[in-house]
Amino acid sequence: MLNDPAALIIRKKTWDGYFLLALRSPRVARRAKPGQFLMVRVSGQPYPLLRRPLSIHARDEEGVEIFFARSGLGTAILADKKTGETLDILGPLGKGFVIPATAKGKSFCLIGGGRGIAPLYFLARELRAKGGHPRVFYGGKTEADLPLIRKFAALKTEVFISTDDGSLGFPGLVTAMVEKELARSARPARIYACGPDPMMKKIAGIAAGLNIPAQLSLESIMGCGIGACWGCVRKVLRGGSAEWVKICEEGPVFASREIVWDL
């Protein structure tokens, strides 16, 4: 884990409530793996003190991108940042998605709801680079929650769209679209997903029912992101028995079969 106290914002994109910042930070970028995250200091002022966890959305040799929804004070401050300003970041943190050694020629199902799509772009690129065929299931409440459709399509991946209000694509929850699609197409080698807990629980059920291994990225309130505060604990199955682990250290990505849902 590295601390870059002055990651320069070199590019910014804004949609309705969603933001993308490209940060120059070569040392962090070189170590980044899909599914890992950064702890971002949103302000140089004492308040808000706590850093915010944000997934690494993309990387190249020079830097990383973050993609986020404005959801509270911290992300609102971040949304106001301009190119030329710097951010204090810690990362890459956590354990990311496990990509099988033999991804070539295999199909993968990537499922993201709203801001949960953030880590899946980096993953889709890695899978493509290894000769895999990611199919992306991208859901939102409404069309405005899906600003990255064209970015995914440019990777030459199949992109399936759903909106809860039916304004674009499949009308209904992204999990319903996934269930429908998996019922009529060949089984993917693995499912990867990121989103709120109820969505992750549903996907774990779908994966178990079809006997498809799944890797799920869990959200949590995070005070430190580095294993120091115990603010992010979650019960998981290890060696047949349940134990509490820190999501920031052991996750945020877990195999779905090890996650305990009846909290």
Helix axes 174-184, 197-210, angle to 10 degrees: 10
Q: Which residue is nearest to ligand FAD (CB)?
A: 72
CB 21 to ligand FAD: min, Å: 11
Question: Does 113 help bind ligand FAD (rule: CB under 6 A)?
Answer: no
Query: Contact 77/69 with Cβ under 8 angstroms?
Result: no
Among 1, 2, 8, 50, binds ligand FAD (CB under 6 A): 50
Question: Does 73 help bind ligand FAD (rule: CB under 6 A)?
Answer: yes
Residue that is written with structure tokens 């680079």 in the block:
129
CB-nearer residue toward ligand FAD: 44 or 239? 44
How far, CA to CA in Å, does 6 sit from each of 18, 100, 127? 23, 35, 31
Buried b or exposed e, range 66-99, using 16+ CB within 10 angstroms: bbbbbeeebbeebbebeeeebbbbbbbbbbbbeb
CB 254 to ligand FAD: min, Å: 12
Among 54, 124, 191, 216, binds ligand FAD (CB under 6 A): 54
Question: Does 75 help bind ligand FAD (rule: CB under 6 A)?
Answer: yes
Query: Rounded distance, CA 69 to CA 118, Å?
Result: 10
Piece in contact with ligand FAD (CB under 6 A), picked from 6-14, 23-31, 70-78, 125-133? 70-78
Site string for ligand FAD, 177-216 (x = CB under 6 A): ----------------------------------------
Query: Rounded distance, CA 90 to CA 39, Å?
Result: 5
CB 51 to ligand FES: min, Å: 10
Give residues 215-254 in contact with ligand FAD (rule: CB under 6 A).
219-222, 252
Question: Does 69 help bind ligand FES (rule: CB under 6 A)?
Answer: no
CB atoms within 10 A of CB 156: 9
Give residues 218-257 in contact with ligand FES (rule: CB under 6 A).
222-225, 227-232, 246, 248
If you write DSSP's letter for every residue of 207-258 in order, what string do you get? Answer: HHHHT--EEEEPP---SSSSSSS-TTEEEEEETTEEEEEEHHHH-BEEEGGG
Interaction site with ligand FAD (CB under 6 A): 37, 50, 52-55, 67-69, 71-75, 115, 118, 219-222, 252
